[in-house]
Amino acid sequence: MANNIPIDPGFPGNTSPQQNKCMDELLASIQDQITTPVGEKLVAKMGGKDYFLCRLLRARNWDVAASTKLCQEIVSYRSQHKLDFILEKVIGDQPLQDGKDLNWRPEIYDEGVKRVLPYIPCGKAWLHLDGTAYRDMEDQQAQPSDILHKCSSEDIWHWWHFHLEAGMKATLDGAALYNAPLKGAILVFDLKGFGARHLNTTCIRLLAQLFSIGQSKFPESLSRIFVLNAPTLFSGVWNSV
């Protein structure tokens, strides 16, 4: 049975005539990009043709030329880093999460991702009844400087690509499970315990780089971020990021 969830403006099913025109123009301009093997998989992972077009256009304020350039950059980046194979390499054919157990995690097969995960404050993951994928990030045990000493740059970037691909897959799973419009994921950061040990300049710069890739190569994949229990000093860190 269909889940009667309102569709936000600028999403498939709720676009204006002008936005529809932009979608048609963009499709014509990127046809050669999205008919490659990498492009075809990208369109499917981002929800299909209409969702993909709307993502690109929303990310560039419905500017067709800028959206065309964005598509080219994403396809090139995904090809360069072989992103289509990361989920299979890291977790095989396991599901990402179990709707009945918020603490369940798939077994990790990739050694680089295994090295990074102990230093990442991952909490629970779940799918809301509106199809939205949620991830809870808890900070109590995180020691940011440790990741620089015990993990290589390649490990960290490989984990980040896995995290982004997994998030994109989770949003697709949620929309399919609840017959809901496809939306970006929601992150919940619980910063209880956040303190001076987190103010590592190198880590903050790295975090900014990671977030930049998430924003530019996975457009509109993140809907909202909620920050809980943030101390006063956090605002300075967030502004830097």
pTM for this prediction: 0.89
**Looking at the structure, do residues 190 and 133 belong to the same domain, yes or no?**
yes
Round the average pLDDT of the chain to a whole number and report it.
Answer: 88
Instruction: Supply the pLDDT for residue 3.
Output: 60
- Asked which of 56, 81, 106 is the last residue of a domain, the reply is 81
Structure token digits, residue 126:
């779940």
Domain residues for 132?
Answer: 95-240
In total, how many domains does the chain have?
A: 2
Closest CA to 53 of 88, 21, 27: 27
**Looking at the structure, do residues 109 and 74 belong to the same domain, yes or no?**
no
pLDDT in tens, 32-76: 999 999 999 999 999 999 999 999 999 999 999 999 999 999 999
Instruction: Supply the pLDDT for residue 102.
Output: 73
pLDDT above 70: percentage of residues in the chain:
93
**Looking at the structure, do residues 77 and 140 belong to the same domain, yes or no?**
no
Instruction: Supply the pLDDT for residue 67.
Output: 98
Residue 131 confidence class, pLDDT cut points 50, 70, 90: confident
Instruction: Supply the pLDDT for residue 30.
Output: 98
**Looking at the structure, do residues 74 and 106 belong to the same domain, yes or no?**
no
**Looking at the structure, do residues 65 and 116 belong to the same domain, yes or no?**
no
Here the CATH number for the domain that contains residue 136 is 3.40.525.10
**Looking at the structure, do residues 102 and 186 belong to the same domain, yes or no?**
yes
For residue 6, the 8-state DSSP code is: P
Q: Pairing state of beta strands 133-138 and 122-127?
A: antiparallel
Q: Is residue 47 situated within a structural domain? A: yes
In whole angstroms, what separates CA 217 from the centre of its chain?
9
**Looking at the structure, do residues 194 and 221 belong to the same domain, yes or no?**
yes
Here the CATH number for the domain that contains residue 28 is 1.10.8
Closest CA to 181 of 54, 57, 51: 51
pLDDT in tens, 174-216: 999 888 999 999 988 888 877 777 777 888 888 889 999 999 9
Residue bearing the bigger pLDDT, 226 or 193: 226
Residue bearing the bigger pLDDT, 86 or 121: 86
**Looking at the structure, do residues 74 and 105 belong to the same domain, yes or no?**
no
**Looking at the structure, do residues 110 and 34 belong to the same domain, yes or no?**
no
**Looking at the structure, do residues 71 and 185 belong to the same domain, yes or no?**
no
